[in-house]
């Protein structure tokens, strides 16, 4: 790839990257081609990090950590405040680049950057609230407390579908907690990562006192991620991606007793109960199931509709599926953009074929031609009516397929909600307080996210994000997720002249 953009989309990407301050050498002439799902065109070619460069980046981050940890946390928060300012200034350009590289419609591309700004704002406040407990002690003249200390280098591996927001969820918290960050973005979306680092560099320059190596970027595929996973200098590894990736990463982290935050696949459900506000449910289901072309970890994939409202709701939903505008995400009115690549398209068609073989009724799901050339994959979202909860519905297919099933009792619907490997997100549409509370109770949804009268997707950063079971158990972003980025020390201080031992133990020595 030459320095002159060869295609119209590459031209747009180049213009955005230049405005964002990314040097051309960072995205031309490299060995990792980057293609846009909008047309399949090549946007650039990024040099991949060699093993030696990866090791050096981790080394720089480790050295930076040793300095950074000594800055008071509110001072560290100042860097994150500047990062939020820079992100605000670059919102349109970075959001536009997310659209070109990941295929999101503009409001979702911009929304992703807004999420970065939100987590930075959250982290700035947090930088003055890294609280530890003071604990009652049984010994007179003693005080017991916990203190929270910076942890070390945080490795961050991210997926293509949230190419920038997930880095910021981790980086904003890691920075205020006193850590350095090494980021391995998806090999499908390195351009937005380069742009994010260019934005962060401006914040670092304005801050002035940050050590070099505080925010590092390494580019590459699975092997590059593995190098980060296996490096003993990486104290915490936050990995976002498929459950298959988590199965590979989890044991390697455990083998060296490293901390992990695993944010893996979802197979999210919603229940539509007899009292549901069906207009609201329809909108909630449509966004959650078709938004981002079904490529969110929290995408609604399974819908359980009470027998009494099935005939009212499902035909309306099928109508919406037939009419929703599929197209170039930059075209006005488009709600469903492209799939990321051919592999995603093939996976979707395979799941639909398996469903048909099981006797399911499939609405939509076909390739939509005439939007771009053969190298882009646009599909009409699929709604699949099932008679039984079986087959591909039990696993995540990262494409817009909504499996729909009737239910008769809430117990049955909750059991179905929980009857899959993943445990990320879930919701119920009901106006019956008893049903809503049962769904949220200990005997209800087993997911990390459980909602009432909104769909399972589109979380805010204020709450802890993540899920159970095959979703990996990690939590990041809001609430007390910051604790994962720090180490806790319990301190007992004796300000008396005696030395009473805990549990009444006596140990009297001579002299």
**Shortest distance (Å) from residue 159 CB to ligand NAD:** 3
Does residue 115 have an active-site annotation?
A: no
Q: Which of residues 292 and 430 has its CB atom nearest to ligand NAD in the complex?
A: 292
Q: H-type helices in 239-384, by residue range?
A: 243-255, 278-290, 307-323, 342-357
Site for ligand NAD in 173-212 (CB under 6 A): 184, 186-187
Site for ligand NAD in 403-462 (CB under 6 A): 424
Closest listed residue to residue 225, CA positions, set 208, 242, 211: 242
> For residue 472, is it left (φ>0), alpha (ψ between -120 and 50) or beta?
left
With CB under 6 A as the contact rule, the residue among 55, 71, 144, 248 that binds ligand NAD is 248
Would strands 464-465 and 180-184 be described as parallel, antiparallel, or unpaired? unpaired
**Shortest distance (Å) from residue 265 CB to ligand NAD:** 3
Site for ligand NAD in 462-481 (CB under 6 A): 471
CA separation (Å) from 460 to 452, 464, 477? Answer: 15, 9, 9
User: How many residues touch ligand NAD (CB under 6 A)?
Assistant: 29
Q: What is the DSSP string of 178-222?
A: T-EEEEE--TT-HHHHHHHHHHHHHHHHHH--PPTTSEEE---SH
How far is Cα 362 from Cα 306, in angstroms, rounded to an integer? 20
Which segment (144-152, 243-251, 318-326, 490-498) binds ligand NAD by CB under 6 A? Answer: 243-251
317 binds ligand NAD (CB under 6 A): no
With CB under 6 A as the contact rule, the residue among 129, 147, 221, 366 that binds ligand NAD is 221
351 binds ligand NAD (CB under 6 A): no
Tokens representing 306 are 């009470």
249 binds ligand NAD (CB under 6 A): yes
Site for ligand NAD in 145-174 (CB under 6 A): 157-162
Task: Evaluate whether 320 touches 282 at the Cβ level (below 8 Å).
Answer: yes
Which segment (29-37, 76-84, 238-246, 481-489) binds ligand NAD by CB under 6 A? Answer: 238-246
Q: Which of residues 189 and 438 has its CB atom nearest to ligand NAD in the complex?
A: 189
Closest listed residue to residue 372, CA positions, set 112, 160, 100: 100
With CB under 6 A as the contact rule, the residue among 396, 435, 444, 485 that binds ligand NAD is 396
- x/- contact string, 102-141, with ligand NAD (CB under 6 A)? ----------------------------------------
Task: Evaluate whether 461 touches 112 at the Cβ level (below 8 Å).
Answer: no
- The single residue of 78, 112, 115, 263 carrying the catalytic annotation is 263
**Shortest distance (Å) from residue 264 CB to ligand NAD:** 5
Determine the straight-line distance between the first and last CA of the chain, rounded to whole angstroms.
81
Tokens representing 194 are 């380069």
**Shortest distance (Å) from residue 299 CB to ligand NAD:** 8
With CB under 6 A as the contact rule, the residue among 75, 142, 149, 222 that binds ligand NAD is 222
How far is Cα 471 from Cα 392, in angstroms, rounded to an integer? 17
Q: Which of residues 282 and 422 has its CB atom nearest to ligand NAD in the complex?
A: 422
Token pair 């300012």 is found at 85
54 binds ligand NAD (CB under 6 A): no
How far is Cα 410 from Cα 388, in angstroms, rounded to an integer? 16
Which segment (137-145, 258-266, 307-315, 481-489) binds ligand NAD by CB under 6 A? Answer: 258-266
**Shortest distance (Å) from residue 346 CB to ligand NAD:** 13
Q: Which of residues 159 and 484 has its CB atom nearest to ligand NAD in the complex?
A: 159
CA separation (Å) from 468 to 343, 405, 474, 476? Answer: 27, 23, 8, 13
Q: Which of residues 9 and 340 has its CB atom nearest to ligand NAD in the complex?
A: 340
240 binds ligand NAD (CB under 6 A): yes
Closest listed residue to residue 297, CA positions, set 470, 129, 502, 174: 470
Q: Which of residues 265 and 456 has its CB atom nearest to ligand NAD in the complex?
A: 265
**Shortest distance (Å) from residue 240 CB to ligand NAD:** 5
The C-alpha R_g of the chain, in whole angstroms, comes to 25
Q: Which of residues 226 and 453 has its CB atom nearest to ligand NAD in the complex?
A: 226
Task: Evaluate whether 265 touches 184 at the Cβ level (below 8 Å).
Answer: no
12 binds ligand NAD (CB under 6 A): no
Q: What is the DSSP string of 420-456?
A: SSEESEEEEE-S-HHHHHHHHSTTS--SSEEEESS-S
265 binds ligand NAD (CB under 6 A): yes
Active site residues: 263
Interaction site with ligand NAD (CB under 6 A): 157-162, 184, 186-187, 221-222, 225-226, 229, 240-242, 245, 248-249, 263-266, 297, 396, 398, 424, 471
């Amino acid at each position: 790839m030459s320095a002159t953009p060869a295609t119209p989309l590459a031209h747009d990407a180049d213009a955005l990257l230049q405005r964002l301050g990314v040097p051309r050498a960072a995205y031309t002439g490299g060995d990792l081609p980057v293609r846009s799902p909008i047309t399949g065109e090549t946007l650039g070619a990024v040099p991949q990090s060699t093993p030696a460069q990866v090791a050096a980046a981790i080394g720089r981050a480790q050295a930076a950590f040793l300095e950074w940890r000594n800055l008071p946390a509110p001072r560290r928060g100042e860097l994150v405040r500047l990062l939020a300012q820079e992100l605000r200034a670059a919102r349109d350009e970075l959001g536009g680049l997310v659209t070109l590289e990941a295929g999101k419609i503009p409001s979702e591309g911009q929304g992703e950057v807004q999420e970065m700004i939100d987590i930075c704002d959250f982290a700035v406040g947090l930088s003055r609230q890294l609280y530890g407990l003071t604990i009652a002690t049984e010994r007179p003249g003693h005080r017991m407390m916990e203190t929270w200390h910076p942890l070390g280098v945080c490795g961050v591996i991210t997926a293509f579908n949230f190419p920038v927001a997930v880095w910021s969820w981790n980086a904003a918290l890691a920075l205020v907690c006193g850590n350095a960050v090494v980021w391995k973005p998806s090999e499908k979306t390195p351009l937005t990562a380069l742009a994010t680092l260019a934005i962060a560099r401006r914040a670092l320059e304005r801050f002035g006192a940050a050590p070099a190596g505080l925010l590092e970027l390494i580019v590459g595929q699975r092997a590059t991620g593995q190098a980060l996973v296996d490096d003993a200098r990486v104290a915490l590894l936050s990995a976002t991606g498929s459950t298959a990736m988590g199965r590979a990463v989890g044991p390697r982290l455990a083998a060296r007793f490293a901390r992990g935050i695993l944010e893996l696949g979802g197979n999210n459900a919603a229940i539509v109960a007899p009292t549901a506000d069906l207009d609201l449910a329809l909108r909630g289901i449509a966004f959650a199931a078709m938004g981002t072309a079904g490529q969110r970890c929290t995408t609604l994939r399974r819908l359980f509709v009470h027998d009494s409202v099935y005939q009212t709701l499902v035909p309306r939903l099928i109508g919406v599926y037939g009419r929703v505008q599929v197209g170039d995400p930059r075209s006005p009115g488009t709600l469903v953009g492209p799939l990321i690549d051919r592999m995603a398209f093939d996976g979707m068609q395979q799941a639909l074929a398996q469903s048909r073989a099981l006797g399911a009724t499939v609405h939509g799901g076909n390739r939509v031609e005439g939007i771009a050339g053969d190298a882009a994959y646009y599909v009409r979202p699929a709604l699949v009516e099932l008679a039984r909860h079986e087959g591909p519905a039990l696993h995540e297919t990262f494409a817009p397929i909504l499996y729909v099933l009737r239910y008769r009792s809430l117990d049955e619907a909750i059991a179905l909600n929980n009857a899959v490997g993943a445990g990320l997100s879930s919701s119920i549409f009901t106006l019956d307080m008893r049903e809503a509370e049962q769904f949220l109770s200990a005997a209800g949804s087993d997911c990390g996210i459980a909602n009432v009268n909104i769909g399972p997707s589109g979380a805010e950063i204020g709450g802890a994000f993540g899920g159970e079971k095959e979703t990996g158990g990690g939590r990041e972003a809001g609430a007390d997720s910051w604790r994962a980025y720090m180490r806790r020390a319990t301190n007992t201080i004796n300000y008396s002249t005696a030395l009473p031992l805990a549990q009444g133990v006596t140990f009297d020595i001579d002299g």
